[in-house]
C-alpha cells in the first residue's frame, strides 16, 4: 500500500510540475496594424491601431510605443475603436522622423494572455532600423498560484455535486435498513465543500483578473470593474450564480427529504428535479466558456466536457461519501451498511470511470492535431499524467467490483471492510490528482492545428540566421532568413533553381503558422528581385517559438508544389 501511495503521489507531483509550461498559451492574435508592421509612413501618425481576430478588452491591454532611445511616446490609455470592436486605438505624441517599437499585450476571450511587438518608421528618411531591446513576448496563465486556485474551485464544485448525489440516492437506502444512521455528518461535509466553492470562485476570479490587468488583487476598486468586462470573468460569474442556485435547490431537497419513510413524496421528487437541473447548469458553464466551446464540432465537444465533469462528480463525491459512511457507522453496523451501498456504488463507479476515460480520449482526439503532440507539448503531457491517474483509479474500482464486493457479501469478517477503505482511499488520491491535471489542462491552450503539418517538414532550422537548402520535385530551394528573430523585421529569400539553372517567373507564396499555439495564418507573396531569387521583408515572426514556413511555388510552365520548413525563431 505504501508503494502504491508513493506512485500516486509521484504522478500527482508530475501534474503539478506541468503547471509551469515552457510555451505561452493564447488564442487571440494580431491580424492588422496601423501603421503597418515594418512599414514606412511619411506623415507622423496620431495613434497606433491594433486589430485582433476577436474582441479584446482595452482595459486589459497594454501598449507601449518607444523610439530608438527607449523614450515612451504613448499619450493616453488604449480605447476600443468606434468602427471596429476588434480594434484597439492608442494615442501617441507627435513623433519625429525615425523608427519606433510597438510592444503590446492583450487578453483573449478565454483568459489567455498574448504579447507581441513590431516596428514602424516615420519618413521620408528614417534611416536603417535599429536593434530595439524587445521585452519578453512569452506569458502563460498556467502559473502554480492560478492553477492551485483553479484546482480548489474545480475540486470543491465536483465534491459538492457528488456528495449531494450520494446523500440523496445511496444513503437513503441505508437509512431504510439502519434508521439510527446519523445524517448530520453528510450534511456538514456537503455544506463545507459548497461554501468553499462559493468562496473560492470569486476569489479566483479576483486573483486571475488582477494578474491579467497587472494589478494587485487587493486593489478591488480597479479589479472588480474589470471582471464583468472580460468573457473570462463573466463565465466565472455565471458559474458562481449557477452554484448559488444549486445550493438553494440542495437546501430545499435536504429539507423535504424523508429518508427511511418509504417512497418519495411529490415534494421530494420536485426538489430532486430542481437539484438535477441546477447541477446540470453548473457542469455546463466550464465547457461553454472554455476550450470545448472553441473546438469543432462545438456541440460534440461541449457534450463530452459535460459528461466528463458529471461522471467525475458522481465518482469523486461517491468515494468521499463512502468514506464518510464507513466512519459514521458503528463497527457493529458497518458491514451491514456497506453491503447495501458498495454493490450499487461499485457499478456506478466503474461506469463513471469508463465514461471518464472514453470522453477524455474523444476530447483529446478533437484537441490534439497529431498523436506525437501527446508527449511533445505541455498540453499533451498533462493528458498523459491525468490518464495515468485515472487508470490507477480504474484498477481500484474494478477490483472493488469484482473481488471486494462478493467477499463483503459472503464473509462475516472485517478484513474486507479494511481492504475496501484502503482501496477507496487510493481511488480518492488518484481522482483528486486527475482533477489537478484537469486544472492544469484548462489553463493551457490546446496545440495549434498547424502542428499536424510538422510531419511533412523537409528541414528544421534556427535559431539564428538561416541559410538552408532543400530539394523537392526536382527543384532546389535555397532558403535564407535573417536575422530570424521575433518581433523585428526579417528578410526572407528563396533561390529557386532546377538542374542548376535559376527558375524565373514563378509565383512564390509564403505562409506562416505558429506551431506552439493557435494564432492564425499569415501569408505573403515573394517578389522576384533577380533571376530565380524571390524575396520579401515581413514582420511575420511575431513571437519566439516554432514557426511553420509553408512555401507554395507555382513555376511558370510547371506543376505547383509545396515545401514546408520548421523554423525556430529566437528573441
What CATH number is associated with residue 89?
Answer: 2.60.40.1220
**Assigned domain for 493 exists:** yes
Are 555 and 447 in contact by the 8 Å Cβ rule? The answer is no
High-pLDDT (> 90) share of the chain, %: 27
Same domain, yes or no: 432 and 494: no
562: its cell numbers? 509545396
In a domain, 351, yes or no: yes
Domain boundary among 405, 430, 447: 447
| Residue 460 shares a structural domain with residue 378 | no
**What pTM did the predictor assign?**
0.69
Residue given cell 467477499 in the structure block: 407
| Residue 23 located in a structural domain | no
Domain shared by 99 and 192, yes or no? no
Residues 370/455, Cβ–Cβ less than 8 Å: yes
What's the Rg (C-alpha) of the chain?
29
Give yes or no: residues 110 and 241 share one domain. Answer: no
Closest-CA residue to 50 (of 61, 66, 40)? 61
Q: What pLDDT was estimated at residue 558? A: 84
Residues 414 and 269 in one domain: yes
In a domain, 358, yes or no: yes
Residue 160 lies in a domain: yes
Residue 127 lies in a domain: no
In terms of phi and psi (left: phi > 0; alpha: psi -120 to 50; beta: otherwise), the region of 464 is: left
**How distant, in Å, are the alpha carbons of 255, 328, 343, 519 from that of 259?**
11, 16, 20, 55
Q: What is the CATH number of the domain that holds 472?
A: 2.60.40.2480
CB-neighbour burial class of residue 218 (10 A; exposed 0-12, middle 13-18, buried 19+): exposed
Which residues of the chain fall below pLDDT 70? 1-29, 109-112, 134-142, 259-263, 291-294, 332, 372, 400-401, 404-420, 445, 487-488, 517-520, 571
Number of domains in the chain: 3
Helix, strand, or coil (residue 65): strand
Residues 441 and 457 both lie in one domain: no
| Cα–Cα distance, 396 to 436 (Å, whole number) | 19
Task: State residue 203's pLDDT score.
Answer: 92
Query: What CA–CA distance (Å, rounded) separates 527 from 21?
Result: 39
Which of 447, 476, 498 is the last residue in one of the domains?
A: 447
Long-range contacts made by residues 341-346, C-beta under 8 angstroms, separation at least 24? 341/170, 341/171, 341/173, 341/174, 342/400, 342/404, 342/405, 342/408, 342/420, 343/405, 343/409, 344/170, 344/173, 345/166, 345/170, 345/318, 346/397, 346/400, 346/401, 346/404, 346/405
Same domain for 221 and 351, yes or no, is yes
Whether residues 196 and 260 share a domain: the answer is yes
* 433 and 467, same domain (yes or no): no
Q: What is the span of the domain harbouring residue 523?
A: 451-569
What pLDDT, in 10s, does the model give residues 332-346? 677 777 777 777 777
Alpha carbon distances (Å) from 200 to 142, 205, 321, 448: 18, 9, 22, 31
Q: Could you tell me if 89 and 154 lie in one domain?
A: no
Q: How far is CA 406 from the centre of its chain?
A: 42
Contact 27, 112 (CB under 8 A): yes
The answer as to whether 130 is a domain residue is no
Would residue 167 count as lying in a domain? yes
The pLDDT value given to residue 123: 87
Same domain, 66 and 151: no
pLDDT of residue 3: 45
SS (H, E, C) 144-179: HHHHHHHHHHHHHHHHHHHHHHHHHHHHHHHHHHCC
CA distance 79 to 88: 6
Last residue of a domain, one of 400, 429, 447: 447
Q: pLDDT tens digits, residue range 297-353?
A: 778 888 888 998 898 899 888 888 888 887 887 776 777 777 777 777 777 777 887
- Domain identity same for 516 and 469: yes
Amino acid at each position: 500500500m505504501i508503494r502504491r501511495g508513493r506512485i500516486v503521489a509521484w504522478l500527482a507531483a508530475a501534474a503539478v510540475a506541468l503547471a509551469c509550461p515552457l510555451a505561452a498559451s493564447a488564442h487571440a492574435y494580431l491580424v492588422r496594424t496601423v501603421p503597418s508592421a515594418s512599414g514606412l509612413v511619411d506623415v507622423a501618425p496620431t495613434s497606433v491601431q491594433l486589430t485582433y481576430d476577436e474582441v479584446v478588452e482595452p482595459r486589459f491591454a497594454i501598449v507601449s510605443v518607444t523610439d530608438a532611445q527607449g523614450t515612451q511616446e504613448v499619450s493616453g490609455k488604449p480605447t476600443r475603436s468606434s468602427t471596429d470592436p476588434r480594434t484597439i486605438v492608442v494615442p501617441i505624441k507627435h513623433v519625429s522622423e525615425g523608427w519606433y517599437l510597438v510592444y503590446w499585450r492583450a487578453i483573449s476571450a478565454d483568459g489567455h494572455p498574448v504579447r507581441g511587438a513590431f516596428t514602424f518608421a516615420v519618413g521620408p528618411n528614417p534611416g536603417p532600423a535599429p536593434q530595439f531591446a524587445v521585452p519578453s513576448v512569452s506569458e502563460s496563465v498556467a502559473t502554480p498560484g492560478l492553477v492551485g486556485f483553479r484546482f480548489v474551485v474545480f475540486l470543491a464544485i465536483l465534491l459538492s455535486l457528488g456528495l449531494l448525489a450520494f446523500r440523496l440516492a445511496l444513503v437513503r437506502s441505508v437509512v431504510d435498513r439502519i434508521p439510527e444512521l446519523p445524517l448530520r455528518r453528510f450534511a456538514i461535509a456537503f455544506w463545507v465543500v459548497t461554501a468553499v466553492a462559493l468562496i473560492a470562485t470569486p476569489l479566483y476570479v479576483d486573483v486571475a483578473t488582477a494578474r491579467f490587468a497587472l494589478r494587485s488583487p487587493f486593489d478591488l476598486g480597479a479589479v472588480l470593474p474589470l471582471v464583468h468586462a472580460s468573457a473570462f470573468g463573466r463565465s466565472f460569474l455565471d458559474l458562481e450564480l449557477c452554484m448559488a442556485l444549486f445550493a438553494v435547490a440542495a437546501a430545499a431537497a435536504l429539507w423535504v427529504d424523508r429518508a427511511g419513510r418509504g417512497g418519495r413524496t411529490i415534494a421530494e421528487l420536485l426538489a430532486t428535479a430542481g437539484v438535477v437541473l441546477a447541477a446540470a447548469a453548473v457542469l455546463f458553464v466550464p465547457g461553454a466558456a472554455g476550450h470545448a466551446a472553441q473546438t469543432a464540432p462545438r456541440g460534440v465537444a461541449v457534450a463530452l466536457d459535460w459528461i466528463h465533469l458529471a461522471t467525475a462528480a458522481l465518482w469523486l463525491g461517491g468515494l468521499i461519501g463512502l468514506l464518510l459512511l464507513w466512519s459514521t457507522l458503528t463497527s457493529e453496523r458497518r458491514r451491514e451498511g456497506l453491503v447495501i451501498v458498495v454493490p450499487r456504488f461499485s457499478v456506478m463507479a466503474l461506469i463513471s470511470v469508463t465514461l471518464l476515460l472514453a470522453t477524455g480520449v474523444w476530447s483529446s482526439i478533437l484537441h490534439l492535431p497529431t498523436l506525437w503532440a501527446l508527449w511533445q507539448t505541455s498540453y499533451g503531457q498533462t493528458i498523459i499524467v491525468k490518464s495515468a491517474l485515472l487508470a490507477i483509479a480504474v484498477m481500484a474500482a474494478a477490483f472493488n467490483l469484482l473481488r471486494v464486493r462478493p467477499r463483503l457479501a459472503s464473509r462475516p469478517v472485517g478484513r474486507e471492510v479494511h481492504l475496501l477503505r484502503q482501496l477507496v482511499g487510493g481511488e480518492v488520491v488518484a481522482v483528486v490528482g486527475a482533477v489537478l491535471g484537469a486544472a492544469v489542462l484548462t489553463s493551457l491552450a490546446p496545440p495549434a492545428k498547424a502542428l499536424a503539418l510538422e510531419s511533412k517538414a523537409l528541414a528544421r532550422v534556427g535559431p539564428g540566421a538561416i541559410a538552408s537548402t532543400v530539394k523537392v520535385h526536382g527543384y532546389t530551394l535555397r532558403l535564407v532568413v535573417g536575422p530570424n528573430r521575433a518581433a523585428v523585421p526579417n528578410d526572407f529569400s528563396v533561390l529557386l533553381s532546377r538542374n542548376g539553372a535559376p527558375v524565373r517567373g514563378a509565383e512564390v507564396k509564403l505562409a506562416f503558422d505558429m506551431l506552439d499555439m493557435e494564432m492564425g495564418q499569415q501569408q505573403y507573396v515573394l517578389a522576384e528581385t533577380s533571376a530565380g531569387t524571390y524575396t520579401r521583408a515581413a514582420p511575420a515572426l511575431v513571437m519566439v517559438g516554432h514557426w511553420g514556413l509553408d512555401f507554395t511555388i507555382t513555376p511558370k510552365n510547371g506543376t505547383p508544389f509545396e515545401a514546408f520548413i520548421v523554423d525556430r525563431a529566437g528573441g
